[in-house]
Structure 1
Amino acid sequence: MDSLCCFNSANQAGGGRSSSSSGKGKSYLCPVKYGFSLVKGRANHPMEDFHVAKIIQNKGQELGLFAIYDGHLGDSVPAYLQKHLFSNILKEEDFWTDTNSSIIKAYETTDEAILSHSSDLGVGGSTAVTAILLNNQKLWVANVGDSRAVLSRRGEAIQMTIDHEPNTERGIIENKGGFVSNMPGDVARVNGQLAVSRAFGDKNLKSHLRSDPDIRHDEIDSDTEFLILASDGLWKVMANQEAVDIAKKIKDPQKAAKQLTAEALNRESKDDISCIVVRFK
C-alpha cells in the first residue's frame, strides 16, 4: 500500500460478558476488512474471552490492532489486557524503530502491573495472541499461551504462533521448581492446575510460568489473503488448514468468523470460542 488510509470507527472493540457478540470494520481506502465473533462456551462460568479489533491512526501511520485474550479463573485479567496491552506497546519509545523489542517490553511491564494489582484483579490469568498491522504492509504477531494466529497465503495455512503447552516447556517449568502433571483423561498441567506454560497473571503459579511472548514478523504481499486469530476453543476441534479452507470461501470477514465459531460449536467445543478474521485484500 502506497498511501495511508482512513478507517471505520464503528464496531471496533469489545468483549466480555455477553453470551455472544460479533462485529466488523474496515479501512475506507485500503482493502483491509475485519470481522469478529465471540461465543460463550458451555462451562458454568461467565464469558472469559475478550478481544480487540480496531484500526487507528498513529503518528501519520495506520495501525490495525487485533487480539484475543482468553482468561481463566475469572475475567479480570483479560479485561485488563483489553484496556492496556496495546496502549503499553505503543507507549514504548522504540516502537517504530524496534517493534519486536517494544512488544517484548510491553508484555513484561503489563504482566508486572497485573501482578502488582492482584488484590483487585485476583489470582486468575489470561493467554494472549496479538497482531499489529502497519499500513497493510507489515505484520507483527505475538502470543503467550495457546490462542493461535494462522495466516493464509495462496490458500495455505501458516501458523504464526507457538502453542505454549506444559509438556513442550517441561524443562523450564521443572528448573523453576514446578512440575507437569499428565493425568489419564486430562491435558498436561503446570502443578496440576494450568494447561498452558505461559500466561499473564496467575500469581500463585508465576514462579513456574513465563509471560514473555513468541513474536513473528511477516510482510503482506499479493499472495497474503487473510489472518485468523482465535482462542483454543476453536483450535481444540479444528486444524489450521480446515479453518483456512472454511474462511477462504467467505469474502465477508464477519461472516467468516461467525462460520468458524459455529463450526467449532457443531464439533462440540465446550470452551469459550473467539475468532477474528482480517482480510488484507
Structure 2
Amino acid sequence: MHHDSPSASRTHVLVLLKAMDVLQLLSEGDEFRLRDVATTLGLSKATCHRILGTLVFGGLVEQTSRGHYRAAAYAGRGVETLHTDDHMLRSTSRDAMAELRSATDENVFLFSHRDGRAHCLEVLDGRFASDITVRAGGTLPMHLGAAPRVMLAGLSDREIWDYQSARELLDTSSELSVATVYADVARTRRTGVVISCGEVDYKGMSIGAPIVDTSGCTIGAISVGTLTAATSPERVAELVPWVVRAAEQASAAVEPPAA
C-alpha cells in the first residue's frame, strides 16, 4: 500500500502509515526477510530497516536468530500464556516487593523477560518516585539496567548469542561491545547481583537480583532504583543484601508447574 500522495502527506505522518503497513504484513504469521518486506510494500531497504528496527525496539516485532522478522505475538508462547505468567510473577513477588520498599524506602521494580526485552510488571514508589524513568508496562533492552542485565545472565549461552546477534543487526544506540556484554554476563553469574549506574537514566542507579523458578531458571528480577547523587558506597552495600533477600523470597514463593 502506498501513502505518498500530496494529500496524505498534509494530514498524516507517512512513516507511521508505512509502519502500520509493515505490521499488517507481518501479522499474517510468517517470517519475512528484510528485502521481502521492502519489495512487497514498495519501500527502500533503508527505510524498511529503520521501521523494523524501531518496531523490534518497541516490542511489536521480533527478529529471529536468522535475521528474519515476525510479529511478536507469534513468537514462542501465546499472549494469553504470557499474561498468565506475568500475573503469577506479580502475585508471588508482591510480599517481597512490599517488604523491600518498606525496609529501604527506595523505588522497587519487578521485571520479567520475553522476546528479547525486559518488561516492567510493577513499580512501588519510594522516596524518589518523581524521578522514575521506567513505569509498569515499559520495556528495556536486556543489556541495560540492573534487572535486565541480571535476567540476561540467567539465559542459556545460546539464547544470549541469539540476543547479541539480533542486537548487532539492529545497531542499537548502546555502545557496549559484544565482549563487554559477555564479560558482564560472566561476572553476574558469579555474583548473582547487578549494580547499574547511569545506563537507563544518567541520574539514576539500580541494584537487581534474579527471581528463579523451582528448576533454577531465571523468570524475572527485582530491583531497587535511586539517585546516584544521593547514594554513597556505604548505602549501596546496605541495599545489596536487601535486594538479594527480596529476590530469594520471591523465588521461594514460586510454585512448581502442574504435573
Which structure has more strand as a fraction of its residues?
Answer: 1
Which structure has more helix as a fraction of its residues?
Answer: 2
Structure showing greater Rg? 2
TM-score scaled to structure 2, two decimals? 0.29
TM-score scaled to structure 1, two decimals? 0.28
Which has the bigger relative contact order, CA under 8 A and spacing at least 6? 1
